[in-house]
């Protein structure tokens, strides 16, 4: 079974992300509170009359001068033609036919995939009638008037779209496959790293059944491991536009971070750890993501003056109190420890997803608690009776006790250390909760 892919293309402001959110059953776009830009996901899953699909909103954040648009049109359409089973070309009946729509049509004409013109903002019948002018574009199987905002017409559109699917699709084609995000400041070597993984192994699992052929989240098989790298599009394709690069790259990394299971945070060995690196790591920890730090460009470092030990201590110092994060010294250029980096990310994923049996947990942790029980508060003794790992997404341990409110931060930290001493949770934030029993 494969995943059926729908791609949405079109000029800015026609309503692509509004339709996207509707197709994945999510009414509200997530607004970025800093910038005021819509920062909704560009990749999501949906279902229509028993058929599962994946939607890609190909529209990037790029807006600006005309020469940028040309590149943007090509990027969107190329992505759609490569990845999609059905392409939705969105136009705006309210604004009418524009030059940019025509430019899109010119490129889309090469598509061997079915293209539907979606005439959006047809909120009323009167407006829907204005869609006639888009026949002049001379492409597309059919024109569908829709209102992404109120949902009208989207059912008819989907009825037609699903006819072009090969099968029922799968609900979540990526279930159980580690999602990695490669993060870090510009120029640390992120794209080189990703390209090395892709290029070396030439093993993008594109044409195999059951895989997602998505250039935004690419699924790979490198060194015998299967994983997804989120936001590869942003990594492999370097924007030629210098303005706003910093802004967009920060936005993209936040999104990639949210989508990932494990964040590979790359530093530049010649620069050491900087404030922005600390921010990324802290954000990953806050989002309960697995973390691996790569100190890249290790080939450029004079080994007598800087030992790995020193370097590692310096990093852990800066990110304190986080101290469970593995640090690996890599060189993408000499390919030093690249395999180790991937293996470590996989290990961290395993640590993040594993479940410790309750009996084992109690056998090992209860004696630690007996040896060093929680301090009495106002003459009351806290008794922890048993511990269990909850069936949550991130490792969470529930401690059942008589007076949960009396367990304070220092003791909670002691318990976390006990868990980490007995079990391998390297690279993974763990949560402790105290419940009344
Ligand atoms: P994108 O740039 O193509 O992703 O466009 P957006 O989804 O961000 O939408 C651009 C603007 O059009 C927003 O203000 C939306 O609220 C508005 N919009 C989207 N769909 C509709 C619609 O069906 N009817 C109307 N009236 N406005 C819409
Ligand atoms: P990104 O902005 O993080 O994606 O960084 P790039 O992958 O574009 O790399 C920036 C520059 O650093 C390029 O010139 C790379 O060739 C170079 N570079 C990347 N990794 C290494 C490395 O391990 N050693 C050395 N010496 N240079 C590297």
Residue 186 assigned as binding residue: yes
Ligand 1: which residue has its CA nearest to atom 2? 13
Quick check: 59 and 12 in contact, CB under 8 A?
Answer: yes
What is the phi/psi pair of residue 129, to 5°?
-65, -20
Ligand 2: which residue has its CA nearest to atom 22? 297
Q: What pLDDT is recorded for position 121?
A: 96
Would you say the CB of residue 12 lies under 6 angstroms from ligand 1? yes
pLDDT at residue 436 tops 70? yes
Q: What pLDDT is recorded for position 210?
A: 31
More confident residue, 129 or 436: 436
Q: Which ligand is nearest to the CA of 197?
A: 2
Spell out where 85-205 has E strands. 86-92, 115-120, 143-145, 179-183
Would you say the CB of residue 136 lies under 6 angstroms from ligand 2? no
Helix, strand, coil % over all residues of the chain, rounded to 5? 40, 20, 40
Give the pLDDT confidence of 203-257 residue by residue, as tens digits. Answer: 333 333 333 333 455 666 666 778 888 766 556 544 444 444 555 566 667 778 8
Average the pLDDT over each of 57-71, 80-94, 200-214, 380-394 and give the range with the smallest value.
200-214
More confident residue, 164 or 60: 164
Atom of ligand 2 nearest to the CA of 332: 23
Q: How far is CA 348 from the centre of its chain?
A: 16
Pick the CATH number of 179-353 from 3.40.50.2000, 3.20.20.210, 3.40.50.300, 3.10.310.10: 3.40.50.300
Structure tokens belonging to residue 75: 């990027």
Q: What separation in Å is there between the alpha carbon of 129 and the centre of ligand 2?
A: 54
Give the pLDDT confidence of 134-154 residue by residue, as tens digits. Answer: 999 988 778 999 999 999 999
Q: What pLDDT is recorded for position 240?
A: 46
Atom of ligand 2 nearest to the CA of 266: 3
Helix (H) or strand (E) holding 229: strand 225-230
Q: What pLDDT is recorded for position 199?
A: 59
Quick check: 371 and 407 in contact, CB under 8 A?
Answer: no
Q: CATH 3.30.300.20 in the chain, residues?
A: 358-436
- Beta carbons within 8 Å of 218's beta carbon, 6+ residues apart: 198, 204, 228, 229, 232
CATH topology of domain 5-163: Rossmann fold (3.40.50)
As a whole number, mean pLDDT of residues 354-362 equals: 97
Pick the CATH number of 358-436 from 3.40.1280.10, 2.40.110.10, 3.40.50.1370, 3.30.300.20: 3.30.300.20
Q: Which ligand is nearest to the CA of 93?
A: 1
Average the pLDDT over each of 59-73, 230-244, 266-280, 300-314 and give the range with the smallest value.
230-244
Q: What pLDDT is recorded for position 187?
A: 87
More confident residue, 208 or 190: 190
Atom of ligand 1 nearest to the CA of 10: 3
Ligand 1: which residue has its CA nearest to atom 10? 13
Distance (Å, rounded) from C-alpha 97 to C-alpha 137? 9
End-to-end CA distance of the chain: 46
Structure tokens belonging to residue 211: 């895989």
Ligand 2: which residue has its CA nearest to atom 10? 187
| Mean pLDDT, rounded, of the chain | 83
Distance (Å, rounded) from C-alpha 78 to C-alpha 9? 10
Atom of ligand 1 nearest to the CA of 120: 23
Give the pLDDT confidence of 89-120 residue by residue, as tens digits. Answer: 999 999 999 998 998 899 899 888 999 999 99
Distance (Å, rounded) from C-alpha 237 to C-alpha 227? 20
Which of 13, 58, 80, 88 to mutate to test ligand 1, by most ligand atoms within 8 A of the CB atom?
13
Bridge-partner residues for 195, per DSSP?
A: none
Spell out where 239-335 has E strands. 262-268, 290-296, 327-329
Residue 15 assigned as binding residue: yes
Would you say the CB of residue 236 lies under 6 angstroms from ligand 2? no
Distance (Å, rounded) from C-alpha 257 to C-alpha 182? 8
What is the phi/psi pair of residue 277, to 5°?
-65, -45
Distance (Å, rounded) from C-alpha 388 to C-alpha 427? 21
Ligand 1: which residue has its CA nearest to atom 20? 15
Q: What pLDDT is recorded for position 82?
A: 79
Would you say the CB of residue 332 lies under 6 angstroms from ligand 2? yes
Q: How confident is the model at residue 126 (pLDDT cuts 50, 70, 90)?
A: confident
Quick check: 394 and 257 in contact, CB under 8 A?
Answer: no
Handedness of CA 171, 173, 177, 178 (dihedral sign): negative
pLDDT at residue 39 tops 60? no
Quick check: 329 and 386 in contact, CB under 8 A?
Answer: no
Ligand 1: which residue has its CA nearest to atom 19? 15
Q: CATH 3.40.50.300 in the chain, residues?
A: 5-163, 179-353
Q: Which ligand is nearest to the CA of 104?
A: 1
As a whole number, mean pLDDT of residues 352-375 equals: 96
Would you say the CB of residue 185 lies under 6 angstroms from ligand 2? no
Pairing of strands 115-120, 179-183: unpaired
Q: Which ligand is nearest to the CA of 23?
A: 1
Helix (H) or strand (E) holding 348: helix 338-353
Would you say the CB of residue 301 lies under 6 angstroms from ligand 2? no
Q: What pLDDT is recorded for position 93?
A: 95
Would you say the CB of residue 152 lies under 6 angstroms from ligand 1? no
Q: How far is CA 247 from the centre of its chain?
A: 18
Q: What pLDDT is recorded for position 170?
A: 82
Q: Which of 284, 266, 291 is nearest to 185 (CA)?
A: 266
pLDDT at residue 426 tops 50? yes
Distance (Å, rounded) from C-alpha 140 to C-alpha 200? 39
Q: Which of 325, 371, 331 is nearest to 344 (CA)?
A: 325
Q: What separation in Å is there between the alpha carbon of 110 and the centre of ligand 1?
A: 27
Q: Which ligand is nearest to the CA of 234?
A: 2
Would you say the CB of residue 270 lies under 6 angstroms from ligand 2? no
pLDDT at residue 190 tops 80? yes
Give the pLDDT confidence of 275-300 residue by residue, as tens digits. Answer: 889 999 999 999 999 999 999 999 99
Question: What's the pTM value of the predicted model, to 2 decimals?
Answer: 0.68
Would you say the CB of residue 11 lies under 6 angstroms from ligand 1? no
Average the pLDDT over each of 49-53, 201-205, 392-396, 401-405 and give the range with the smallest value.
201-205
- Beta carbons within 8 Å of 242's beta carbon, 6+ residues apart: none
Q: What pLDDT is recorded for position 437?
A: 87
Radius of gyration of the chain (CA): 25
Q: How confident is the model at residue 123 (pLDDT cuts 50, 70, 90)?
A: very high
């Amino acid at each position: 079974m494969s995943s059926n892919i729908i791609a949405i293309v079109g000029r800015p402001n026609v309503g692509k992300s509004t339709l996207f959110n509707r197709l994945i059953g999510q009414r509200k776009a997530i607004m970025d509170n800093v910038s005021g830009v819509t920062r909704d996901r560009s990749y999501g899953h949906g279902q229509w009359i028993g058929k599962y699909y994946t939607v890609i909103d190909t529209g990037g954040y790029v807006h600006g001068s005309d020469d940028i648009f040309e590149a943007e049109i090509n990027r969107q359409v190329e992505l759609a033609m490569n990845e999609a089973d059905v392409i939705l070309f969105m136009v705006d009946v309210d604004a009418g036919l524009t030059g940019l729509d025509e430019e899109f049509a010119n490129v889309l004409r090469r598509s061997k995939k079915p293209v539907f013109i979606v005439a959006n903002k047809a909120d009323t019948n009167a407006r829907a009638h204005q869609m006639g002018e888009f026949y002049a574009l001379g492409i597309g199987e059919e024109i569908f008037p829709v209102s992404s905002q109120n949902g009208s017409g989207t059912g008819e559109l989907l009825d037609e779209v699903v006819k072009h699917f090969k099968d029922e699709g799968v609900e979540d084609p990526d279930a159980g496959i580690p999602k990695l995000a490669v993060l870090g400041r510009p120029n640390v070597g992120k794209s080189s790293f990703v390209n090395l993984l892709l290029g070396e192994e030439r093993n993008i699992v594109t044409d195999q059944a059951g895989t997602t052929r998505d250039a935004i989240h690419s699924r790979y098989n490198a060194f015998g491991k299967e994983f997804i790298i989120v936001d590869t599009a942003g990594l492999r394709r370097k924007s030629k536009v210098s303005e706003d690069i910093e802004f967009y790259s920060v936005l993209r990394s936040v999104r990639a971070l949210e989508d990932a299971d494990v964040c590979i945070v790359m530093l530049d060995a010649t620069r050491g750890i900087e404030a922005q690196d600390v921010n990324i790591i802290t954000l990953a920890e806050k989002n309960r993501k697995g973390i691996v730090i790569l100190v890249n460009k290790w080939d450029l470092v004079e080994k007598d003056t800087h030992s790995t030990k020193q370097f590692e201590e310096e990093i852990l110092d800066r990110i304190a109190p986080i101290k469970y994060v593995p640090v690996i010294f890599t060189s993408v250029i000499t390919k030093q420890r690249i395999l180790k980096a991937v293996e470590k990310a996989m290990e961290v994923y395993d640590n993040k997803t594993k479940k410790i049996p309750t009996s084992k947990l109690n056998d090992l942790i209860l004696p630690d608690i007996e040896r060093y029980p929680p301090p009495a508060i106002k003459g009351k003794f806290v008794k922890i009776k048993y511990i269990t790992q909850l069936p949550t997404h991130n490792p969470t341990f529930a401690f059942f006790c008589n007076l949960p409110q009396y367990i304070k931060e220092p003791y909670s930290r002691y318990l976390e250390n006990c868990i980490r001493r007995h079990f391998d949770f390297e690279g993974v934030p763990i949560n402790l909760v105290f419940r009344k029993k």
